[in-house]
Amino acid sequence: MAVLLLAEVNDGTLSTNATAKAVTAARQLGDVTILCAGADCAAAAREAATIDGVSKVLCAEDASLDKLLAEPAADLIVSLAGDYTHIAAPATTNAKNVLPRVAALLDVMVISDASGVVDADTFERPIYAGNAVQTVKSLDNRKVITFRTASFEAAGTGGNAIVEPIAFSGRTDLSEWIEDKVEVSDRPELTSAGIVVSGGRGVGSEEDFALIEKLADKLGAAVGASRAAVDSGYAPNDWQVGQTGKVVAPDLYVAVGISGAIQHLAGMKDSKTIVAINKDEEAPIFQIADFGLVADLFEAVPELTEKL
């Protein structure tokens, strides 16, 4: 068995955390070859080569791969697919854009958000907002999979894989990159942060969400929010944690003023330690919390921040 794993590379920078977690999953299937693609990805390829368990790194540099648009990226992967039984990637925005097109071109199914590997043909994935686990068996001769990174530990570093440049020239007439609008923040990225502090509808307003941000800054944490908080305009969309937001699995998750709707739990229940602060002692969040504090968040959070 051989696996071609598409690395998460953005503007020439490797997302080491997402890629290393996908490596952990892919190693259960066979020898792992990482594919780094972009207009300038040599540095990312060298970094990927240091991940434990990687046999080889392919580095494809071409202007058409600059923003990893689905059309040229899929053509690249399909051109390499003949040597591999499995084509995989971390379940990121890029992979969810590229791999369905790869699967269509190869005329096979795509297994998305796999959270467990049973064997080379069989995988587990969460359904019904994480309330059930579906076991999927594929009879295709080539498997195309995205791995939910929150379900796997990151592979270590210390590897020394060979980096092999490969030539590629993709079409640029099918789609065009216009612009990225990315919020710049000094805080850790939400999906890879070791600590996340999230606020819910109980915070009450956009102004009062500053309490959440101050606590997060004291902890060196990322800031998250429930869908209710986002829909109420208290927090931006890219902070949303949950079934229709981002899936996180930090070492510490602090839920403030979050009742614990099933859609939110689906995005954070794999956190190593969950702390909940809510004045409603019947809030569902306390059923999964490791530590729960029944208190008024407007008193508890400033006191906690001050003591930290």
- Map residue 5 onto helix, strand or coil: strand
- pLDDT reported for residue 49: 96
105 CB-near residues (< 8 Å, 6+ apart): 74, 75, 78
Reduced to 3 states (helix: H, G, I; strand: E, B; else coil), residue 34 is strand
Q: Which residues contact 121 (CB under 8 A, 6 or more apart)?
A: 137, 138, 139, 143
What tokens were used for 184? 């710049």
Predicted confidence at residue 185, as pLDDT, reads 74
Query: What pLDDT score does 281 carry?
Result: 94
In this predicted structure, what is the pLDDT of residue 228?
A: 94
53, burial (CB in 10 Å: exposed 0-12, middle 13-18, buried 19+)? middle
- pLDDT, position 233: 94
Provide the pLDDT for residue 187: 87
pLDDT in tens, the chain (308 residues): 899 999 999 989 999 999 999 999 999 999 999 999 999 999 999 999 999 999 999 999 999 999 999 999 999 999 999 999 999 999 998 999 999 999 999 999 999 999 999 999 999 998 887 788 999 999 999 999 999 988 899 999 988 999 999 999 888 788 888 988 777 778 888 888 999 999 999 999 999 999 999 999 999 999 999 999 999 999 999 899 998 889 899 999 999 999 999 889 989 988 999 999 999 999 999 999 999 999 999 999 999 999 99
* Eight-class DSSP state of 157: B
Is residue 161 classed as helix, strand or coil in its secondary structure? coil
In this prediction, residue 181 carries a pLDDT of 77
Concatenated DSSP letters of 199-263: E-GGG-STTTTHHHHHHHHHHT-EEEE-HHHHHTTSS-GGGBBSTTSB----SEEEEES----HH
